[in-house]
Amino acid sequence: MSDASDPFPSPTPEDDGAFGPEFLQDLTRLFLWRRDVRHFLPDPIDETALETLFDLACLAPSVGNSQPWRFVRVEDPERRAQIRANFQRSNEQAAQSYDAARRADYLKLKLQGLDQAPVHLAVFCEKDPPQGHGLGRLTMPETLYYSAVTAIHSLWLAARARNIGMGWVSILEPETLNPLLDVPDDWHFIAYLCLGYPARMDARPELERLGWQNRDALCRQVLRR
């Protein structure tokens, strides 16, 4: 029996777990309209809405039910400034990895929303969490990291369904994040996320609109053996 305070009570015996065609259409739209948002409004996100997003993210699957994800809300202005400087250094280095033509295109891209997003989240994975008692990860311990990513994706979809945008800032020096955010050394940095209400939503993802990369057709990603 679910606790009365449980925000997501367990299904009842009358619930057969089936979903109707209207829901499936909405779910498809949710996948189609998920975006890596980099342009945010300054409006704050309600704390209750944020708590709901965290609760939904923690419903993600994890190897052996290990639940290894650890979310850190970065609110201190000085720490945020150091993250911004970290991104700037990493971005400049990344730009130099391209030839001149591609570098010019790269420098036109807006690859982060650090200055506008009201909520910053750093996501870590605990490398040996007590939950799960090691089940399922003896030969592939990296499945803990994959589990943390499923929580990120769950958070992303839950946010988008509520018209909250999320952007993944991946251009950072990961080794600097643990001491900067004062978290245990055995937490593995996974992602730095920006959340907020999007300044605009477009039918095409930004990298496609700007000519950087189109999405491949699904049939090119599926092999048969």
Question: pLDDT band for position 6 (50/70/90)?
Answer: low
Question: pLDDT band for position 5 (50/70/90)?
Answer: low
Average pLDDT for residues 25-52, to the nearest whole number? 96
Average pLDDT for residues 118-128, to the nearest whole number? 97
| Between residues 110 and 74, the one the model is more confident about | 74
Q: CA nearest 160: which of 118, 210, 201?
A: 201
pLDDT tens, 127-167? Answer: 999 999 999 999 999 999 999 999 999 999 999 999 999 99
Question: pLDDT band for position 15 (50/70/90)?
Answer: confident
For the chain, list the domains and their CATH numbers: 36-201 (3.40.109.10)
- pLDDT greater than 90 at residue 87: yes
Gap between the Cα atoms of 144 and 102, Å rounded: 35
Angle at which helix 143-161 crosses helix 21-33, to 10 degrees, equals 100
- pLDDT greater than 90 at residue 2: no
Task: Calculate the CA dihedral of residues 213, 207, 96, 78 and round it to 10 degrees.
Answer: -150
pTM, 2 dp: 0.91
- pLDDT greater than 80 at residue 123: yes
Question: pLDDT band for position 111 (50/70/90)?
Answer: confident
Joined together, the tokens standing for residue 125 give: 């994975």
- pLDDT greater than 80 at residue 9: no
Question: pLDDT band for position 220 (50/70/90)?
Answer: confident
